[in-house]
Chains A and B, each alone.
Chain A
Amino acid sequence: MSKILVYLPTADGKIKRSALEVLSHARVLASKNGLTLEALVVDENPSVFVETAAKYGAATVHTVQNPLFKQHLNAPLIQALESAIKTSGAKFFATPSMEATKDILGALAAKLNAGVLPDVASFDIEGDAIVALRPVMAAKVLQKVKSTGNVVLVSVRSGSYDASEAPVSGSANTLTFEPDANSIKAFLREILKTAGTGVDLSEANVVVSGGRGVKDEDGRKMLEDLAALMNGAVGASRAVTESGLFPATAQIGQTGKVVSPDLYFAVGISGAIQHVAGMSNSKVIVAINKDPDAPIFQYATYGLVGDLYKIMPILIEEIKKIKAA
């Protein structure tokens, strides 16, 4: 029986939500196509994640343990994934698409001489192939692609599927990993954390994003206040990360992060297609914009036509009342 192996990246002691989305979809595909579903955790302390992986349907969870993985370097991760894919004998390998996996996917595919479909919006298994839809041409259209090979890799955009539980009894399978010291030539000097609410943008349930309509620090502060009140994260369009008003880490869009919160506030964002590509999987979208013809209103669940500098202070007060109640 062919096998689908799902890689579950971890951060801050949790499996990434986008990884559980991919695992949930892979479980559906496995049952439809008669495949075995297995999961893979690569971490300095992977065994703590086995229970969660089993809750989402992975009976076998391969674990690779090494303190090296804390360092965000691509060479050890590529080695670990290559070896895990070979050892498990997986035919299909799925991973959430995020900066850390974009970093390794191409090299991993070349080392395995595998077929590979990056950053897909949806995928299905057809015989020995993966067929997927990916946004291309600045996210204006979807390209339908098919990849085959002894192994086929796929990375999936955040929010493409819902994470759903289907508990099984899980067991860990520890894989041995001997990092090849000679091939690890890069060295991590430091990680520069950017200031913000401290909530991970790609995991946040609420995202408050600013665009060109946010003119100054006072405007940004209002967005930060609203995000903090709702335990959310602050995002931004490319225009205002480029201008330096918002940190580069906050950039949402085809060239930045893809987010899919329950509630997305687009504040002073016109709604260029490149930005929309990064947030259109959000469940509820609220747009605040002065221009009644702004494209963002085509995507918004609720659109408010008006001046954000007048609306935001009142909105913040109303949210405060609810939180206090």
Chain B
Amino acid sequence: MKFSVCIKQVPDVTAPIQIKEGQLHQDADRLVLDAYSASAVEESLVLTEKHGGNVEVVSVGPEKAKETIRKALAMGAESAVHISTDDNASYDSLSYAKILAAYYKNHSFDVIAVGKQSQDTDAGLTGGMLAALLDLPFATNAVGLEADPSANKIIVKRQGDSGQEMIELPMPCIVTCSNDMNDPRIPSLKGIMASKKKPVDTKTLSDLGLDAASLQADMKTQVLGFQSLPQREPGKKFEGDATELVGTLMNALQNEAKVL
């Protein structure tokens, strides 16, 4: 089976963030492999270990995205494609989907795995957009994945609104992965050493028949700025023994909040 995993480099969302004049500032300018992308890599590795095949990773981003690509190679992916963009270029989800679609049009694969969303924007659009552009069947929010290569299909367990849905998809197809799917492996020292020798094929937008200016011109969404979350009204905090606390709470819920 051939898995191709779209991975994204994101800012470390656990680092402190400040907003200055409507713009985001992070003290530690640390860039990491997106956690949902990591789950997509992990699941692809597990399935190829079980059924044979190989895992390729594909990332769109500036030169520094190479660090994140190496991380995925160190986890065990065999090869990588880096679609390089300008340092300061930023695109909306549809533009990224167009770039990825341009790459996949001329490449074969059984399954494209992507994160169900990314940690920085939580938009969750690109996987579905890519499926529409490539006219492929897809399933989102996968929490489990099994393959049946002889029948040329995969079985996706997706988290739906009121239960888990088991969906069968013929290959080739696209699956967007939840971080609840697995615990991505930490690269071993051996894996890190090996990653340095693995091939990274760098492509430019023009190699894919695209140009940055037209992509920018077609963009429909722009970021206007950032602001802090609204604060909730501070509430009341009670201490004491359990019986006393429950008494106070019951009184508040019945007579003040009137929700009982």
Chain A residues in the interface with B (C-beta under 8 A):
11, 72-75, 78, 98-100, 102-111, 113-119, 131, 133-149, 152, 183, 185-194, 200, 202, 241-242, 248-249, 251, 254-255, 262-263, 280, 283-286, 292, 297-307, 310-311, 314-315, 318-319, 322
Q: Let me know if B245 is at the binding interface, CB within 8 A.
A: yes
- Summarize B's interface: helix, strand, loop or mixed: mixed
Q: Which residues of A contact B11 (CB under 8 A)?
A: 137
Q: Let me know if B178 is at the binding interface, CB within 8 A.
A: yes
What mask results when residues 152 to 175 of chain B are scored 1 for a CB within 8 Å of chain A, else 0? 000101111111111111100100
What mask results when residues 205 to 249 of chain B are scored 1 for a CB within 8 Å of chain A, else 0? 000000000000000111111111100101111111111011111
* The 6 residue pairs across chains A and B that have the minimum distance between CB atoms: A106-B128, A115-B220, A106-B125, A110-B132, A107-B128, A310-B242
A277 to B228 alpha-carbon distance, docked (Å): 13
Partner of A301, one of B93, B126, B221, B236: B236
Structural contact, B246 and A311, CB atoms closer than 8 A: yes
Structural contact, A248 and B122, CB atoms closer than 8 A: no
A231 to B30 alpha-carbon distance, docked (Å): 46
Chain B residues in the interface with A (C-beta under 8 A):
11, 13-14, 17, 19, 22, 24, 93-94, 97, 116-117, 119-133, 135, 137-141, 143, 155, 157-170, 173, 178-180, 220-229, 232, 234-243, 245-250, 252-254, 257, 259-260
15 A-B pairs within 8 Å (CB atoms) are namely A103-B128, A103-B158, A106-B126, A119-B122, A131-B224, A142-B226, A147-B220, A147-B222, A189-B168, A200-B161, A254-B122, A255-B179, A286-B249, A297-B237, A303-B235
Name A187's closest neighbour in chain B (CB-CB).
B168
Structural contact, A188 and B226, CB atoms closer than 8 A: no
Structural contact, A144 and B167, CB atoms closer than 8 A: no
Structural contact, B122 and A99, CB atoms closer than 8 A: no
A315 to B129 alpha-carbon distance, docked (Å): 48
- Summarize A's interface: helix, strand, loop or mixed: mixed
Partner of B13, one of A100, A138, A192: A138
Structural contact, B229 and A249, CB atoms closer than 8 A: no
Q: How far is the CB of A222 from chain B (nearest CB, A)?
A: 13
A321 to B231 alpha-carbon distance, docked (Å): 35
A319 to B120 alpha-carbon distance, docked (Å): 42
Q: How far is the CB of B243 from chain A (nearest CB, A)?
A: 6
A302 to B259 alpha-carbon distance, docked (Å): 13
Structural contact, A186 and B165, CB atoms closer than 8 A: no
Structural contact, B229 and A140, CB atoms closer than 8 A: yes
Q: Which residues of A contact B222 (CB under 8 A)?
A: 145-147
A283 to B257 alpha-carbon distance, docked (Å): 9
New A-B pairs, 7, CB < 8 Å, besides A107-B138, A144-B226: A11-B161, A105-B128, A118-B123, A134-B122, A136-B122, A147-B222, A248-B180
A302 to B236 alpha-carbon distance, docked (Å): 5
Q: Which residues of B contact A292 (CB under 8 A)?
A: 237, 239
